[in-house]
Every structure is written in C-alpha cells, then in structure tokens.
Amino acid sequence: MTIPSAIKKISDTVWELPTSYKAGMLVPARIIATEKLIGTMDAGVFDQVTNVACLPGIINYAYCMPDGHWGYGFPIGGVAAMDPETGVISPGGIGFDINCGMRLVLTNLTYDEVKPHLRELVDALFYRIPTGVGCTGFVRCSQDEFRNVVEQGSRWCLKHGYAWPEDLEMTEEGGCFPGADASKVSHKAIERGYDQVGTLGSGNHYCEIQVARPENIYDEETARAFGFTIPNQVAIMFHCGSRGFGHQVATDYLQIFLGVMERKYGIKVLDRELSCAPFHSPEGQDYFAAMKCAVNMAFANRQVILHRIREVFSAVFHKDPEELGMRMVYDVAHNTAKLEKHTVAGKKREVLIHRKGSTRAFGPGMEGIPDCYRETGQPVIIGGSMETGSYLLAGMKSGAETFFSTAHGSGRTMSRHQAKKMIRGQKLQRDMEERGIYVRTDSWGGLAEEAGAAYKDIDDVVAATELAGLSKRVVRLVPVGNIKG
C-alpha cells in the first residue's frame, strides 16, 4: 500500500493527515500505528478516516487504531468524539453489529486437567451455543418480553437466572446502557432479534478455550489482579454482538438519516455511508435510544452464552461453576456511541464518543470501572485470529489523547472472499488440530474466512497500542479449542 504523501509522522506511533489533505476536513486525522503497520493499511483507511474528519462537531482529531481497515462509513478501528451540542451521531460510526464485544471468563483448571476433555468440551459448546447465519437460541420469549430484554440488558438475565450478581459488576456499564427505549425500534428489528438471545452467529464471532502459559504473562501483578494465578490456567473468551436485531436498527436509521440529513438539517457528507443527524435532533435522539436497545441485547446475548458455558463445564467436570472458579474477568464493548466525560482543551466536559471496531480502555483511577480494577485500569480484551491467540490488556493513564480508546482485534488484511479462494476450510481444521487446536464450525467457508493468514499479526497490533500508551499487555492467551459460525 502506498502511504499518502501528505501524511506526517508525529511520533513512532502517530501519523497525521492535515486538514489540507481533503476539502471539508474540520480536524486532522490521526492513525495510531507503527511504521510496519502503517505500511499495511489499505487505501480505504486513509479515505474513510479523513471523511470522518469532515463531520460536524468533531473534536480534536478523527482517529484510527492499529488494527484499522476499510469498513462501512468509519474505518474499522475508527474513533471520533463529537460535541453533543453541535455534533452529529452516525450509525456508520458505530456499525451494524452494535455492541459487538468481548467477554473473558476464568476457570481454576489447568491445561493438563482440561486436555483429556477438550474434544468433549468443544463438542458440547458447539451443541449448546447456536452458531451460524440465522441461528436461534434456547431462550424463548415473546416479542413483548424481548422489549424488556433490550431495555434491561444483563439485568433481565439476572432476574431470570442466567447471571450471577457479580457478572453485572464485571460488565461495561453494568450490562445496561440507560435510556434504551424499545418504542424507538422497528417491528422488523424486534422480529429479527427476539429469538436470537444466546446465539453466537457467524463471521468473526467465536467461543474459544484458551491457556495462559507462564511465558505469556507480561505483567504478573496485574495478571493476578485480573484473576490469573495458576500456571497454564484455562480461560474462555467469546466474541459476538446484537445479531440481526442490531443490524436492523442500524439499517432503519441509516435510511431515516438519509431522508433528513440534507433536506432538513443542511448537512452534506462525502460518503452516504456516513449519513447522520444532529445528536440533539428528534431523529438523533431516537437513534441513540434504539442503539442502546441493541447494545443491551448484545449484553444479554453474551450473558446467556456465559450461562451455557458454565453449564457445559459443570457437566463435563461434575462440579458447580463456582467450584470451577468460573467468574468473569470483564465484558467490554466495541461498536457503540456513548456520552462520556473527558478533558478537552484543559476542561472536563461531556462528549459523544463513536467507537467503531474500537474498545474503551479507561486508565487507573477512572470512574466507570469496577472498584477492584481502579489501581490496574480497565481490563481490555483484544481477540486475535483462532490460530494465533488473543490478549488481555489494561487501560493506561496515558490514553487520554484517544479518549481512552484502543484497538479491538487484529484487523483483517484479506477480504473474506479472497480468504475463501485461497484457503480450504476442511484442510485448515485438520492443520489446526495437528497443532493442538480443536475447532468446530457451522461452515467450512466461514472457517476459511477466519484463517490466521487473513489477519494482521496480533502481536504487532498489541505492541503498537502499548507503545502508543493506549493499553498495556498483561496476558497473551493461546487457543486450544474453538467453536465458530
């Protein structure tokens, strides 16, 4: 990839395109990357992040994280803070899979204890957690009850026996964004989502059994605070979101915004995928309330999946989940818009943060994270490919420049279509099993799409976030078992 000639190297990890790069830019665009990673960014990143810099009310910079690649509207890895009074809200800055996020769960088991049962565990997880396009869950609720789910999120799960009280404490925003209003959601969205609670879905969503090997502990003190206290400790990480419900919410409001953006509010954008409305407009507030419903559906979805994981491990090891130490480390969202308080031009103020394929990474001492993590900073969960491993990181005090945002994954380098042309899913499964990773999938093509070769090097991405002062490495987690849609 040819890097734009106008780009300026601000530091070893910050690259800037000035407002002179493109007509209409209100702020510069900044890409967080090492020299190696900036050279692998696709052209869409530079085009899209500078389009974002043209949005009304944007503050400081338009950002893209080290895992950045082309997306819908914003680049994947895009971050933008808006002035709530003068700025806009854009579904293209949040994504179709609203609150696609990560959850990490501990066990007190070692790999030696799990290894003899690995195939049984993965097969049982594959059976108990529905995967693939259009899959439906075991939670049976009416469409009216589903409206309660999307307004209450994890709180609904606690009421119905799918959560422990501490699960909510270990979930971003307690597992519920306040202000969700199901009356702002279309009937079509309700129809698409009401039977999908507790499902993994397809694409890059997965549930993975992982091992924290001693040589992969980067910060022993923080690792202990996060619950990693046993050599070769086994954990479970999973990644999914709001399924068809969130997709429909985004689709509905993109169309609504296209109808009012220019005609009613006089807003012009360089890309229709960035259709938006003033945040405090009736349409903007309706979308914000509907988006929160999708956020809450995703929290409930991951909570029910955790319930199923606990059931599986309990059945295989003939112990209660509590005896197995199956407590949450954290659940963190990406693909959201949130009102947060940050320091801008030396003053604390409320801003609207769009994070699209980007993770919140609050530093030590900040409000909004569990008390037990106040000294360490917020746990940050970054998923790599199913072949290479994932990371548990911690937020840093130095993350203020990006409004305490960091990467969310390793980032694609190859399109799904290209991956399926180059890689055979059945052969990939056999190769992975030979390397000690047992995987079950709903689709051979879907498995090929998620091959490690289709992604950036997760170690490079995570090292860049640490060098940039956004999030620091705590534990690298190695995959041994995986289910995919």
- Just list the catalytic residues: 408
CA distance 431 to 201: 24
Partner residues linked to 406 by β-bridges: 359
Radius of gyration (C-alpha) of the chain in whole angstroms: 21
342 is in an annotated binding site: no
111 is in an annotated binding site: no
97 is in an annotated binding site: yes
> 60: phi > 0 → left, psi -120 to 50 → alpha, else beta; which?
left
Phi and psi dihedrals of 341, rounded to 5? -100, 125
386 is in an annotated binding site: yes
365 is in an annotated binding site: no
207 is in an annotated binding site: yes
> Hey, is 437 helix, strand or coil?
coil
CA distance 17 to 410: 23
CA distance 190 to 195: 9
Residues 6+ apart with CB under 8 A from 100: 205, 239, 240, 241, 242, 298, 333, 334, 335
280 is in an annotated binding site: no
The candidate with the shortest Cα–Cα distance to 105, out of 288, 314, 351, is 314
CA distance 213 to 234: 9
Residues 6+ apart with CB under 8 A from 159: 152
459 is in an annotated binding site: no
108 is in an annotated binding site: no
The candidate with the shortest Cα–Cα distance to 213, out of 180, 191, 235, is 235
160 is in an annotated binding site: no
CB 386 within 8 A of CB 452: yes
CA distance 37 to 468: 13
Cα-based distances in Å from 57 to 6, 80, 84, 180, 258: 24, 10, 8, 24, 18
328 is in an annotated binding site: no
CA distance 28 to 5: 15
Give DSSP secondary structure letters for 61-120: EEEEEEEEE--SSSPEEEEEEE-TTT-EE-GGGT-SSTT-EEEEEEEEEEHHHHGGGHHH
Q: Which residues are annotated as a binding site for GMP?
A: 204-208, 334-335, 383-386, 390, 408-411, 484
Q: Which residues are annotated as a binding site for Mn(2+)?
A: 97, 205, 239, 334
Q: Which residues are annotated as a binding site?
A: 97, 204-208, 239, 334-335, 383-386, 390, 408-411, 484
